[in-house]
Every structure is written in C-alpha cells, then in structure tokens.
Amino acid sequence: MKKIIVACGSGVATSTVALQKLKTGLEKRGKLDQVNFSQTSLSELPSLVEGHDLIVTTAQGGTDLGVPVVSGLGLITGIGVDKVIDEVVSILNI
C-alpha cells in the first residue's frame, strides 16, 4: 500500500479539494485501493512525512524532505488534472 500526504498552507482548504480530486482520479483508473492518504499543513509536513511515498502540495514547499513531490495546483485549478494524476501513478508505480 502506497501512502500519499497532501499538504497546503493551512492543511484544510485547498488540500481538501486536491485530496478529493486525487481520489476521484485514482478511482477512475482503478488504483484507489492501492493508496492511503494523509492531509496536513506545510508547517506540519516535516514532522508527518516519514513513512509516506509521495507529497502532493498545493503550495510552495516540502521539496527537501527525501520524498518525491508533485505540484497539486492542477487539481485546484482544474487545468491539467489528468497530468497530475498520471504523474502520481507514475511515481508510485501503481
């Protein structure tokens, strides 16, 4: 089981939207059952990232934590949603 942590500035608003779109995209690809999710703020990310396979963030940050990072801005704007989901699937090799 792969673990994704989704982060935004506050850990509430945009990360919730990104998380839902990520789940929807993975479900459409038949891969939702292969992933567990966590949600947090950027400030809490360093203390919570251990054990996760991927960070999806809607803000700048989280790049030096030893875990691959995907920009989730496309999940928020609706532009490039499939590209973001494809990148997640590729990195996680699921």
Indicate whether 6 pLDDT > 90: yes
Other CB atoms within 10 Å distance of the CB of residue 80: 14
- Catalytic option among 4, 5, 6, 8: 8
Confidence band, pLDDT 50/70/90 cuts, at residue 2: very high
Tell me the domain boundaries of the chain: 2-40+54-59+68-92
Phi, psi values for residue 19, rounded to 5°: -60, -45
3-class secondary structure, 70: strand
Distance CA 55, CA 53 (A): 7
Other CB atoms within 10 Å distance of the CB of residue 49: 20
- Nearest to 72, CA basis, from 2, 1, 4, 3: 4
pLDDT tens digit string along 28-80? 999 999 999 999 999 999 999 999 999 999 988 767 899 999 999 999 999 99
The answer to whether residue 86 is catalytic is: no
Instruction: Please give the model's pTM, rounded to 2 decimal places.
Output: 0.94
